[in-house]
Structure 1
Amino acid sequence: MRALLLYSALFLLMASCVGQEKPEENLPNLRALSLYEKELSQSSQAFAIDFFQQISNPSENQFYSPYSVQLALAMAMNGNVEEILEEYLEVLRFDNLDMEDANKAALELTQFLRDVDPKVKLNIANGIWYDQKLQVKAPFKQNMEHFYQANLEAADLRSPQTVQGINNWIDRQTQGLIKDMLDSISPDAVMLLVNAIYFKADWKFQFDKSLTSKKPFKLTNGGDVQVDMMRTKEAANIKTYNGNGFAYLEIPYSTGQYSMGVILPDGVGLEDIKQEITLSNLTTWRESAYETSVILEMPKFKMGYKIENLSEDLTDMGLRTPFVDHPENFTEVFETSGPLKISRVIHQALIEVDEKGTEAAAATIVEMEMTSMPAGPRTVTLDRPFIFFIQEKASGAMLFMGQLTDPGELGR
């Protein structure tokens, strides 16, 4: 199972509250990004595109958070030096950053994303559990606590209570959207690095529930399936760009600081457009998009997606050494231990889109184990497979990505 694009987050006032808010409270908390924050923003977008190209399967419904995967692996990166560190920097697309600047950028960009829109609920959290018989090196512990604001907990990793504790933590951080993600911990595991993201925002232009109705959604096989198709009551100013064989849309949340980006092919099917999705092209589409008055129709849907192990995909992307027996793996994590490697990377995400807005969450678990080695408004209808992502305007950061190919499969 593999995945596609999604990127955006939120900021909107309910109609009942508009008259009670001060005008300045409706504005985003924008500030200039530092050089390394800008570099990390570019890195996160580049990694998101790389990740999409690696795992996307145009015939599947998919949803995931490349930002969550990148942050979890960035924590793991801190346990390495020299050639292995360079692998992380290259695969995570930290092309112009060293580890120190990448850590600083992770802290400050995460804070920027949390604060940029006070009306958007965005939680980004990190947690680390490690074998209570081992001692974590002070520099690694300090980096995790300061730059990733992670709580490190010594635990009995063989205990079912630890599995439940990690699942409970993920449940809390994602507001109950991601439940029972971890089934068990490897008997050889010595550390688990966990990232969780939760996002909730209202649409800037609300859909009228009374206008939601059953309509056909075209399928790749030539058939169709009936879906609950939402419709805006009035024309909305949506940024759009018409490319060669596709349309790009930005559906805004609240003030428009966060949006849902959509790539809608002219025909049915995503295979042809997949290769066109590059960071360079995405930048062009964003810069070329202009506000257009449209009546927007789009499916109401809820999608969950889980990848049990990303190891092969990350290896194919170039992160090879951390997954094999190598004496230089994770030398900066513990004071004393045997050789270590990543045994698996688990990822799970969920999104719900309705007339009010979007709620989404994702979590990533990196499990580390001991090895055996030493005009008038036009109507736009999303009635065929499309790619979507949740993005932040100022930084360009892409928080979530996905594709909807067969809504009929979601409720089964």
Structure 2
Amino acid sequence: MKKICSLFIVATFILVGVSCSQDDTIDPLPGNIDVDLKSEQIIAADNQFGLELFKLINEEENTDKNLMISPLSVSLALAMAYNGADGDTRSQMEEMLHKMGMSPVEINESYKYLVDALESHDPKVDLSNANSIFSNELFDVKPDFISTNQTYYNAEVEALDFTNTSATLDRVNDWVKDKTRDKIDRIIEEVSPQDVMYLINAIYFNGEWTYKFDSDDTENRIFFLENGNEIQVPTMFIEENFNYLNKEEFELLEMPYGGKKYSMLIFLPHENYEVDDVINQLTPSNMEDWMDNMNGWNKKVFLPKFEFTYENSLVDNLKALGMTDAFDASLSNFSGISDRNDLYISEVKHKSYIKVDERGTEAAAVTGITFEVTSVQPGLIFAVDHPFVFAIREKDTNCILFAGKVMNPLLKE
């Protein structure tokens, strides 16, 4: 049960949505999710990977910028790609994702069980997860790769005409917009001639607080920035019994959603400490310990309303965590996807959205993985859009009659 709690802690950063019913009737509390050993390993691995990724991104971001990622979304997108990896590429992904010693079948079965359980866990929580594979219709994808991701990740599979870049962009981004309830409207900005496949995960969360704020109590209050400046922020108020923990560096408050299976954890640094001091302490073992030591306290809570979006390329972060070969066409091995030996990942784009108000929290995240080849496949595209050489020959004798080059088609001499 501790590891399940740990997953919900990471949900503070992943923010995988929740939506509650509007009525005030008392519903039965959600039951517990029974987790086998392999699912516990998946949860622990994802927590470890997610916090490592979160720390890396925080280190490189502007300290004044809001940030939110969904480790679960990133993990699920990478898990689909992992099903096509082999050799060192697969080993590096296993090590980075902390899944060494688990077979692909065990990983896939555990994810399927976990996602199904999370989505149906709380009737007052609207949590949805969707996966898709959009491929170039002229790119041959191995059937086993497709069927595996359909079976375990319920991936929607569609072949598109990538030469029609406008239609491809519309189809992929419309899917993203639909699965995130219009909160994220695009994940692909352009279709490169070398693009052959997009693996996408989308997570949506919409949930009402278990203890709702009264909008009449919301008023502007001072918010102190780390640089010493002050701003006025619409701030909500509630007095209720919440799980609470006081540490040397920070205070920790847990605010539940719906049937209390999902919650937001708020880490508030003490004076002389900053946000980075808290983030540096975020490890699965620390968080498990903090959760175990929280107790119910009556608290008057002032919480700012906020809403923001965030996006980032995760390529450099994933490389820093040890997943390097997948991004190098000369080293990558995705033989489980295609027989082409130049298939590699060119981009891992992550976008997120969150809104917190008196009602609760709405959040979404999308992770898009772009696969490319180093050269356009024969017969796919032939764009004479740069200087070229030409020759005229006789076919039966192979006699070359003329040979030349074109550096500027507009030049007459």
2:209 aligns to what?
A: 203
Work out whether 1:324 is the aligned partner of 2:345: no
The one of 339, 343, 348 equivalent to 1:340 is 343
2:401 aligns to what?
A: none
CA shift at 1:366, angstroms?
0.2
CA shift at 1:73, angstroms?
0.8
2:265 aligns to what?
A: 261
CA shift at 1:30, angstroms?
2.6
C-alpha contact 1:29 1:115 (8 A) present in aligned 2: no
C-alpha contact 2:245 2:295 (8 A) present in aligned 1: yes
Work out whether 1:129 is the aligned partner of 2:131: no
The one of 361, 365, 370 equivalent to 1:362 is 365
Query: After the TM superposition, which segments of 4 or more aligned residues of structure 1 sit over 6 Å from their partners?
Result: none
C-alpha contact 1:338 1:373 (8 A) present in aligned 2: no
2:13 aligns to what?
A: 6
C-alpha contact 1:350 1:362 (8 A) present in aligned 2: yes
Q: Is the partner of 1:177 in helix, strand or coil? A: coil
Q: Is the partner of 1:361 in helix, strand or coil? A: strand
C-alpha contact 2:193 2:376 (8 A) present in aligned 1: no
CA shift at 1:6, angstroms?
1.7
2:125 aligns to what?
A: 120
CA shift at 1:7, angstroms?
4.7
CA shift at 1:228, angstroms?
0.4
C-alpha contact 2:12 2:263 (8 A) present in aligned 1: no
Q: Which has the higher contact order (CA 8 A, sep 6+)?
A: 1
1:214 aligns to what?
A: 220
The one of 146, 154, 174 equivalent to 1:168 is 174
Q: Residues 139-164 of structure 1: CA distance to partner in whole angstroms, max 9, x if unpaired?
A: 21111100110011111123210111
The one of 32, 38, 42 equivalent to 1:40 is 42
Q: Structure 1 residues 7 and 26, CA, compared in 2 at 3 Å: closer, same or farther?
A: farther
Q: Distance in 2 between matches of 1:245 and 1:33?
A: 33
Q: Distance in 2 between matches of 1:7 and 1:173?
A: 16
Q: Distance in 2 between matches of 1:302 and 1:281?
A: 28
Q: Distance in 1 between matches of 2:142 and 2:177?
A: 29
Q: Is the partner of 1:74 in helix, strand or coil? A: helix
Q: Distance in 2 between matches of 1:27 and 1:257?
A: 9
Q: Structure 1 residues 191 and 12, CA, compared in 2 at 3 Å: closer, same or farther?
A: closer
Gaps of at least 5 residues in structure 2 are 1-10, 378-413
Taking the TM superposition and a 5 Å limit, the aligned residue runs for 1:241-280 are 241-267=245-271, 269-280=274-285
The one of 83, 86, 89 equivalent to 2:88 is 83
Q: Is the partner of 1:85 in helix, strand or coil? A: helix
Matched residue count: 361
Q: Distance in 1 between matches of 2:351 and 2:18?
A: 21
Q: Distance in 1 between matches of 2:258 and 2:162?
A: 43
For 2:36, give the aligned amino acid.
S
Q: Is the partner of 1:314 in helix, strand or coil? A: helix
Q: Distance in 1 between matches of 2:186 and 2:72?
A: 21
Q: Structure 1 residues 12 and 169, CA, compared in 2 at 3 Å: closer, same or farther?
A: closer
Q: Distance in 2 between matches of 1:95 and 1:216?
A: 48
Taking the TM superposition and a 5 Å limit, the aligned residue runs for 1:168-187 are 168-187=174-193
CA shift at 1:59, angstroms?
3.1
Q: Distance in 2 between matches of 1:310 and 1:144?
A: 22
Q: Distance in 1 between matches of 2:107 and 2:180?
A: 25
Q: Distance in 2 between matches of 1:38 and 1:118?
A: 23
Work out whether 1:314 is the aligned partner of 2:321: no
C-alpha contact 2:329 2:373 (8 A) present in aligned 1: no
For 1:6, give the aligned amino acid.
F
Q: Distance in 1 between matches of 2:83 and 2:145?
A: 7
2:354 aligns to what?
A: 351
1:226 aligns to what?
A: 232
Taking the TM superposition and a 5 Å limit, the aligned residue runs for 1:331-410 are 331-334=335-338, 336-371=339-374
Q: TM-score, normalised by structure 1?
A: 0.84
2:395 aligns to what?
A: none
C-alpha contact 1:250 1:261 (8 A) present in aligned 2: yes
Q: Distance in 1 between matches of 2:254 and 2:99?
A: 27
**Greater C-alpha radius of gyration:** 2
**Identical-residue share of aligned pairs (%):** 31
For 1:238, give the aligned amino acid.
F
Q: CA RMSD in A?
A: 1.9
Q: Distance in 1 between matches of 2:372 and 2:19?
A: 41
Report the more deviating stretch, 52-61 or 201-210: 52-61
Q: Structure 1 residues 7 and 324, CA, compared in 2 at 3 Å: closer, same or farther?
A: closer
The one of 157, 162, 181 equivalent to 1:157 is 162
CA shift at 1:116, angstroms?
0.6
Report the more deviating stretch, 207-216 or 173-182: 173-182
For 1:63, give the aligned amino acid.
M
Q: Distance in 2 between matches of 1:29 and 1:241?
A: 25
Q: Distance in 1 between matches of 2:346 and 2:102?
A: 27
C-alpha contact 1:11 1:117 (8 A) present in aligned 2: no
Q: Residues 116-135 of structure 1: CA distance to partner in whole angstroms, max 9, x if unpaired?
A: 10111111000001111122
For 1:181, give the aligned amino acid.
I
Q: Distance in 1 between matches of 2:210 and 2:169?
A: 40
Q: Is the partner of 1:117 in helix, strand or coil? A: coil
Report the more deviating stretch, 49-58 or 120-129: 49-58
CA shift at 1:11, angstroms?
6.3
